[in-house]
Amino acid sequence: MAARKTRNPRVLFVTPEIYPLIKTGGLADVGGALPAALRELGVDIKVLVPGYPKVLAGAKNIRQRCVFHDLPEAKVVRLLSASLPGSGVPLLIVDCPPLYQRGGGPYQDPSGADWPDNARRFALLSRIGALLGGEASPLTFRPDIVHCNDWQSALAPAFLRFMPGKKAATVMTIHNLAFQGIFPPQVFDQTGLPPESFNMEGAEYYGNFSFLKAGLYYADHITTVSPTYAREIQDEPLGFGMQGLLAQRSARLTGIVNGIDANDWNPAADPHLARNYAAADLAGKAADKRALQERLGLAPDPDIPLLGIISRITHQKGQDLLLEIAPRLLDKPVQIALLGTGEAELENGFRRLIQAYPGKVGALIGFDEGLSHLMEAGADLFLMPSRFEPCGLNQMYSQRYGTPPVVHATGGLADTVVDANPATLADASASGFVFAPPTAEAFYACIGRALDAYHDKDIWNRIQRNGMTRDFSWQKSAEDYLALYKSLFQ
């Protein structure tokens, strides 16, 4: 056996989203922050992203590196190098205007429908990732590891597996197993993958072609974004059909909890707040509450508990549970502030609530990064009743902002929030409120428990400070990824 190399591995990190250039959810936050944290540990890392208009407009120092001709997905594809604004993380951009230069979002058109050519768009991202991990790469940068994220990059491990010659090892990270990139079997024929891989032992999923299954099957290692979710997905219902494969590969499946970008999410220096504050002096938080109330048309009451939500408004996120308990909840002296977009029916439910409770319910149905920071600061309590949550970031942001979260005991929520009870108050670990099962009743009761604590200023202060002083930085998780890379790199 070859001796283990002592140098750090070189890593190509492939992601369909990266903050601050393009974001629909937490994957972008991870794509922006994890590579920066790995770089601080001495890893030579580059991030491969599609050349959406926002990426081309926002990336720094763009230069052309090479051109690929006659790929199955496109005649001409330019590969650009650039750097990420802020951290300066090196980027590689897949520039293919027919596939990526358009309005709308990364996955959907302006009306919210999936782009009809998503299979081709993300097969290309995966293909370039694989080409750069293989012997024939035109770059001098030769990654030891190709680290893929979600279905949009999940064909790379399959392409690499069937590529001849020396090649990178692959890591496939699951951020959300509910999204699998499933396409009709004809799409498979266009990829050039060998027919034998269109099989139950491969990329086939009940007669269709599953990008994610290909990644899970062919990657050298699978990770997901919390240890609890890593266990949950090996079984029904959260395995979403992949539980058999994941249980079979469990020795190659690790849960590593996400961190947060402690610079972007720092109440002491956050430019989006009306006033900054820190654990030692929370006075500024009252000004942020007032600013949030003004912004969302809520009554300017400093004492009324203000419950905040920032979320995709979906069944996964349990927003229907909130709508179900809202009338009962709003009988009490509370205000609700909501920021989110999602399923039309649930969005309309919240619109009706705003009308029915003027001054008590305020919402922005849309996406607004700046407001999300003010919400974390201005709310008193943060609600996250997700039915499942691979990791979740807002519950960590809210703890950092002294806004204790109310969460369902699932996935990363279970791993990052410590329920307040006599024992955890005594050992100064209590940082929020945790409930199970994910029912309206249990959620309502848990909010009741949180409101009781809110009205005891001493207890509330302790819970706030416990959360604010926890270490959610990326350092520890980045070290876990580095150890994993090293174990795959021989």
Binding residues vs ligand GLC (CB under 6 A): 25-27, 30, 175-176, 225, 258, 389-393, 412
d(CA 192, CA 207): 18
Near ligand ADP by CB under 6 A: residue from 141, 179, 357, 367: 367
How many CB atoms lie under 10 A from the CB of residue 233?
A: 26
Q: Are strands 60-69 and 76-83 parallel, antiparallel or unpaired?
A: antiparallel
* Residue 25 interacting with ligand ADP (CB under 6 A): yes
User: Would you say 48 or 393 has its CB closer to ligand ADP?
Assistant: 393
d(CA 115, CA 105): 9
Cα distances (angstroms) measured from residue 389 to each of 202, 362, 438, 487: 27, 25, 12, 28
- For the segment 253-312, give every residue that binds ligand ADP (CB under 6 A): 310-312
CB of 265 to ligand ADP, least distance (A): 9
d(CA 200, CA 165): 26
> Locate tokens 């409770």: which residue?
357
CB of 109 to ligand ADP, least distance (A): 19
CB of 369 to ligand GLC, least distance (A): 16
User: Would you say 321 or 451 has its CB closer to ligand GLC?
Assistant: 321
Cis peptide before 267 (omega within 30 of 0): no
User: Would you say 268 or 365 has its CB closer to ligand ADP?
Assistant: 365
CB of 177 to ligand ADP, least distance (A): 12
Residue 120 binds which one of ligand GLC, ligand ADP, none, with CB within 5 to 8 A depending on kind? Answer: none
Q: How many helical (H) and strand (E) elements, i.e. helices and strands, does the chain have? A: 19, 18
* Residue 134 interacting with ligand ADP (CB under 6 A): no
Q: In sequence order, what are the residues at sequence separation of 6 or more whose Cβ sits closer than 8 angstroms to the Cβ of residue 37?
A: 259, 473, 474, 475, 477, 478
Residue 383 binds which one of ligand ADP, ligand GLC, none, with CB within 5 to 8 A depending on kind? Answer: none
CB of 391 to ligand ADP, least distance (A): 6
d(CA 143, CA 151): 21
* Residue 31 interacting with ligand ADP (CB under 6 A): no
* Residue 403 interacting with ligand ADP (CB under 6 A): no
DSSP string, 267-334: TTT-TTSSS--BTTB-THHHHHHHHHHHHTT----SSS-EEEEEEEESTTTTHHHHHHHHHHHTTSS-
User: Would you say 29 or 288 has its CB closer to ligand ADP?
Assistant: 29
User: Would you say 19 or 217 has its CB closer to ligand GLC?
Assistant: 19
CB of 39 to ligand ADP, least distance (A): 21
d(CA 139, CA 438): 49
Size of the site for ligand ADP (CB under 6 A): 18
Q: Are strands 361-365 and 381-384 parallel, antiparallel or unpaired?
A: unpaired
Stretch that binds ligand ADP, among 39-47, 116-124, 282-290, 391-399 (CB under 6 A): 391-399
Which residue type is seen at 443? Answer: F
Near ligand ADP by CB under 6 A: residue from 392, 402, 405, 411: 392
* Residue 450 interacting with ligand ADP (CB under 6 A): no
* Residue 127 interacting with ligand ADP (CB under 6 A): no
* Residue 26 interacting with ligand ADP (CB under 6 A): yes
Q: Are strands 221-224 and 253-255 parallel, antiparallel or unpaired?
A: parallel
CB of 400 to ligand ADP, least distance (A): 12
The two tokens of residue 120 are 């081709």
- For the segment 323-342, give every residue that binds ligand ADP (CB under 6 A): 339-341
- 73-101 burial, b at 16+ Cβ within 10 Å, e below that, comes to bbeebebbbbbbeebebbbbbbbbeebbe
Residue 225 binds which one of ligand ADP, ligand GLC, none, with CB within 5 to 8 A depending on kind? Answer: ligand GLC
**Binding string, 166-205, against ligand ADP, x = CB under 6 A?**
----------------------------------------
Angle (nearest 5°) at CA 203 between 256 and 181: 65
DSSP secondary structure code for residue 175 in this structure: S
CB of 394 to ligand GLC, least distance (A): 9
Please identify the residue of the shown chain whose CB is closest to the bound ligand GLC.
Answer: 26
Stretch that binds ligand ADP, among 25-33, 75-83, 166-174, 462-470 (CB under 6 A): 25-33
Residues at the contact surface with ligand ADP, assessed by CB under 6 A: 25-27, 29, 310-312, 339-341, 367-369, 372, 391-394
